């Protein structure tokens, strides 16, 4: 009987590939989860062995042997492979790309999976005594150097010597005069900070979780901002670590990892690893390998970390679980939050989803009993919640988007020596440039959208395709000189504020500033140090940071979210408002939040202001239920784009009739032009498939996708998005 190897090879093909064992036979049986190099067409590729089998759908005479086995120890365990295969099936993404894509780049390229340890030399008591007697000048020099440094030196610090210390150290180690030790991952030398006295709400939440350690259970921890969710995580994490088990903590943003890492390191007696795209390839690989081997007990990472193998799984935490950044928006479009829950189930461990503003999906799961719902309804310590006010801006004379009453509030706050935070989710100077005489507007030639005015750089920029050009001096259509920037972006509000409040120290945070100066952390520190009076920014501000001395928060434009084609826009807007509002205030100085709107009577705003996010969410969920939208239905979106206007629509028309033929009971909506019908020179259309249960939807996709590949329309690029978050 022949052995057939089922191998995941990165290629745009749904299934794995069959190969024969390497020749000559290497002896020990091949273990699933190991990397192999295989012939692929005329080249070779790195793949992962999924399993062995005894038969193949391919004629065995046409199968080729594996060229090389790269690992003796599997990189993925059987639970990891189960998760990857689940993800590949659920998101209908090729198993090879999912599996090999879960490796850090160097491992994907076939580099050795070797853990590298930092090392250090330690002088022994014998070495100390021998110091005067050692004759060899280099041996003596190395011992003296060690003595000068207090007996311990990191080997990386010896790189500056102009002679090779390694053989010398080896000889001295053989004599017992020094020791070569692994340095690497020990926790910070200072003893951990004592925890604050945990309050009754926190205790109740932690006590609800701990009986479930060691088996699968999902918890939604809904705690208002500043309620001390992190303390609840820490309290559970301490128990897991005491059992010598590992913890994976997922965060939506790289920018949040340094502060949480510091906080964890000050509190926990273990090294804390990080895994995100801001690290070098080498650092990522080492974090990956050390979490896999169990050497790092606690890993903080962004969405790709959800696939990092763990040796002794204990707990997964998803912080700010509502954040759309957990969904990958291109290629393998997975939701790290959802994968985390599946992973916890496969591993038989608890998972905690934490947020002040949970997603409607997670709230729905909590209401239907799939998740345990834990609440922290009050701010920790004595901090009081901020008070929310609507500022009706109809018939008001706005300057750079600021109502007179808002300006008065800002002025009064500054006069008291307190800080102000302004939030506007639009960067640039103005979202449009328009001719006052003929009505011409600056459109992007390649997209169905307006060019954004960036006055500081003198450029018009498209935020969708990157196209840019100089701001014209006269109207390209009529030659008039009266070109007006219309609407506001952060750059314009900044200019207005510095004119209105010349004495105030002003800082702006948005993608333009951070790209130029990369100084998000510096500004955050300046705000904490009281060196900033007014902080202005986009949604970057809404994430994670606390500003206890801010007592006034202004949301400049709440309306964008109320009337959008995207049914998730109100949910996003409510989350943003609550998150931004939550940045402000503390015990002795509660915060005030002003929300500028033209629709003060809007029911969702009213719910949000009346009794807060939980009531807003209940109402929004009811609207979703009536409209049969997620989470009360399940969606898959097929997007298509091409250079020709008609071809994506024609293509999706064929997909739609195929789908209707295969599964007449599902709703097939469209095809329709995408909400932005042209982007970067390509015409775009989309087809939405919706059903009230997941199984028929996935059954249809299983049968539909292979047939799509056979359709004429080769010039059309298409992709599938399961559980799409964004209809753009």
Q: How far apart are CA 322 and CA 357, in angstroms?
A: 7
Which residue has 């705690």 as its token pair?
A: 223
Other CB atoms closer than 10 Å to residue 270's CB: what's the count?
19
Does position 477 bind Zn ion by CB under 5 A? yes
Contact between 230 and ligand ADP per CB under 6 A: yes
The verdict on 591 binding ligand ADP (CB under 6 A) reads no
Query: Is there binding between residue 223 and ligand ADP (CB under 6 A)?
Result: yes
Q: Which CB sits closer to ligand ADP, 169 or 380?
A: 380
Cβ proximity to ligand ADP, 225 vs 686, nearer residue: 225
What is the closest distance, in whole angstroms, from the C-beta atom of residue 251 to ligand ADP in the complex?
Answer: 12
Separation CA 478–CA 476 (nearest Å)? 6
Nearest CA-CA partner of 90 in 345, 380, 309? 345
Categorise residue 151: left if φ over 0, alpha if ψ from -120 to 50, beta otherwise.
left
User: Does 229 sit near ligand ADP (CB under 6 A)?
Assistant: yes
Under the binding rule (CB under 5 A), the answer on residue 505 touching Zn ion is no
Question: What part of residues 547-576 is at the interface with Zn ion (CB under 5 A)?
Answer: none
| 39 contact, one of Zn ion, ligand ADP, none, CB 5-8 Å limit per kind | none
Residue 202 touching ligand ADP (CB under 6 A) = yes
Distance, CA of 306 to CA of 583 (rounded, Å): 28
**C-alpha 96 chain-centroid distance:** 23
Nearest approach in angstroms of CB 442 to Zn ion is 11
Residue 320: CB minimum distance to ligand ADP, A:
9
**Residues that contact ligand ADP, how many (by CB under 6 A):** 15
Any idea which residue has 């990892």 for tokens? 257
- Would you call 397 exposed, middle or buried from its count of C-beta atoms within 10 A (0-12, 13-18, 19+)? exposed
| Residue 440 found at the interface with Zn ion (CB under 5 A) | yes
Stretch that binds ligand ADP, among 222-230, 298-306, 635-643, 680-688 (CB under 6 A): 222-230
Nearer to ligand ADP, 224 or 435 (CB): 224
225 is a site residue for ligand ADP (CB under 6 A): yes
Looking at residues 364 to 423 of the shown chain, list those that interact with ligand ADP (rule: CB under 6 A): 380-381
Run of H or E residues at 484? strand 483-486
* Integer angstrom CA distances of residue 648 from 232, 520, 671, 684, 726: 50, 41, 9, 6, 19
Residue 252 interacting with ligand ADP (CB under 6 A): no
Q: How many residues bind Zn ion (CB under 5 A)?
A: 15
71, 80, 222, 231: residue in contact with ligand ADP (rule CB under 6 A): 231
Does residue 259 belong to the site contacting ligand ADP (CB under 6 A)?
no
Secondary element (H or E) of residue 410: helix 404-415
The verdict on 257 binding ligand ADP (CB under 6 A) reads no
- String of DSSP letters for 554-587: EES--GGGTS-SSTTHHHHHHHHHHHHHTTB--S
* 242-251 b/e (C-beta count within 10 Å ≥ 16 → b): eeebbbbbbb
Residue 484 CB, nearest approach to Zn ion (Å) = 11
Q: Is 198 in the site for ligand ADP (CB under 6 A)?
A: yes
The binder of 444, among Zn ion, ligand ADP, none, by C-beta within 5 to 8 A per type, is Zn ion
CA distances from 85 to 97, 101, 167 (A): 11, 13, 48
DSSP line for 331-388: SS--BHHHHHHHHHHHHT-EEEEEESS--HHHHHHHHTTSSEEEEE-S-STTPPPPEE
Of 228 and 401, which CB lies nearer to ligand ADP in the complex structure? 228
227 contributes a contact to ligand ADP by CB under 6 A: yes
Cβ closest to ligand ADP, residue 10 vs residue 585: 585
Place of tokens 């290497």: 26
Query: Candidates 195-203, 359-367, 401-409, 488-496 — which segment interacts with ligand ADP by CB under 6 A?
Result: 195-203
Instruction: Give the footprint of Zn ion on residues 456-475 (CB under 5 A).
Output: 462, 464-465, 467, 475
Footprint of Zn ion (CB under 5 A)? 435, 437-438, 440, 444, 446-447, 462, 464-465, 467, 475, 477-478, 480
Footprint of ligand ADP (CB under 6 A)? 196-199, 202, 223, 225-231, 380-381
């Amino acid at each position: 009987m022949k052995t057939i190897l089922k191998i995941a090879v990165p290629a745009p093909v749904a299934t794995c590939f069959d190969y024969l064992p390497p020749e000559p036979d290497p002896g020990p049986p091949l273990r699933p989860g190991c990397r192999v190099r295989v012939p692929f067409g005329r080249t070779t590729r790195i793949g992962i062995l999924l399993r062995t089998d005894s038969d193949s759908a391919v004629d065995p005479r046409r199968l080729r042997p594996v060229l090389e086995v790269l690992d003796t120890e599997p990189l993925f365990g059987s639970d990891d492979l189960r998760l990857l295969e689940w993800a590949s099936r659920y998101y209908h993404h090729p198993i090879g790309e999912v599996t090999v894509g879960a490796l850090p780049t160097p491992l994907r390229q076939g580099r050795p999976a070797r853990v590298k340890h930092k090392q250090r030399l330690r002088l022994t008591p014998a070495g100390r005594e021998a110091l005067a007697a050692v004759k060899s000048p280099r041996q003596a020099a190395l011992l003296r150097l060690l003595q000068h440094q207090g007996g311990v030196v990191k080997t990386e610090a010896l790189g500056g010597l102009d002679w090779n210390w390694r053989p010398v150290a080896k000889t001295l180690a053989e004599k017992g005069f020094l020791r070569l030790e692994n340095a690497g991952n020990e926790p910070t030398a200072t003893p951990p900070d004592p925890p604050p006295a945990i309050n009754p709400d926190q205790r109740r939440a932690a006590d609800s979780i701990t009986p479930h350690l060691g088996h699968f259970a999902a918890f939604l921890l809904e705690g208002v901002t500043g309620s001390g969710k992190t303390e609840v995580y820490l309290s559970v994490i301490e128990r897991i670590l005491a059992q010598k088990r590992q913890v994976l903590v997922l965060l939506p943003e790289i920018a949040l990892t340094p502060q949480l890492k510091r906080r964890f390191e000050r509190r926990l007696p273990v090294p804390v690893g990080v895994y995100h795209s801001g690290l070098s390839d080498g650092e990522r690989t080492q974090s990956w390998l050390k979490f896999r081997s169990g050497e790092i007990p606690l890993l903080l990472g962004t969405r790709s970390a959800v696939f990092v193998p763990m040796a002794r799984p204990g707990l997964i935490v998803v912080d700010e679980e509502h954040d759309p950044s957990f969904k990958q928006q291109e290629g393998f479009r997975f939701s790290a939050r959802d994968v985390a829950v599946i992973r916890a189930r496969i591993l038989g461990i608890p998972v905690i989803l934490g947020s002040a503003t949970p997603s409607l999906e997670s709230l729905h799961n909590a209401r239907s009993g799939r998740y345990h719902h834990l609440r922290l309804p009050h701010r920790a310590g004595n901090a009081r919640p901020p008070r929310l006010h609507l500022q009706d801006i109809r018939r008001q004379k706005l300057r750079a988007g600021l109502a007179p009453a808002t300006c008065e509030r800002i002025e009064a706050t500054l006069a008291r020596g307190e800080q102000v935070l302004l939030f506007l989710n639009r960067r640039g100077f103005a979202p449009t440039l328009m001719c006052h005489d003929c009505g011409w507007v600056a459109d992007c030639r390649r997209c169905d959208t307006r060019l954004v005015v960036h006055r500081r750089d003198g450029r018009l920029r498209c935020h969708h395709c990157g196209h840019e050009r100089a701001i014209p001096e006269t109207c390209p259509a009529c030659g008039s000189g009266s070109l007006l920037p219309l609407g506001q972006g952060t750059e314009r509000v900044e200019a207005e504020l510095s004119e209105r409040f010349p004495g105030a120290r002003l800082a702006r945070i948005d993608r333009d500033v951070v790209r130029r100066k990369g100084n998000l952390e510096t500004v955050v520190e300046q705000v904490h140090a009281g060196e900033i009076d007014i902080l202005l920014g986009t949604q970057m501000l809404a994430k994670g940071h606390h500003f206890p001395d801010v007592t006034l928060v202004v949301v400049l434009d709440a309306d964008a979210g109320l009337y959008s084609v995207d049914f998730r826009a109100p949910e996003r807007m409510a989350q943003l408002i609550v998150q931004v509002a939550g940045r402000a205030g503390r015990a002795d100085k509660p915060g005030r939040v002003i929300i500028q709107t033209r629709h003060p009577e809007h029911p969702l705003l009213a719910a949000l202001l009346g009794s807060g996010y939980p009531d807003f969410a209940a109402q929004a969920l009811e609207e979703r239920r009536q409209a049969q939208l997620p989470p009360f239905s399940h969606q898959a979106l097929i997007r298509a784009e091409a250079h020709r206007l008609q071809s994506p629509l024609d293509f999706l028309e064929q997909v739609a009739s195929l789908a209707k033929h295969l599964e007449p009971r599902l709703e097939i909506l469209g095809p329709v032009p995408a909400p932005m019908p042209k982007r970067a020179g390509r015409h775009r259309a989309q087809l939405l498939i919706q059903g009230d249960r997941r199984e028929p939807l996935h059954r249809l996709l299983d049968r539909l996708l292979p047939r799509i590949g056979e359709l004429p329309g080769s010039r059309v690029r298409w992709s599938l998005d399961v559980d799409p978050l964004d209809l753009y």
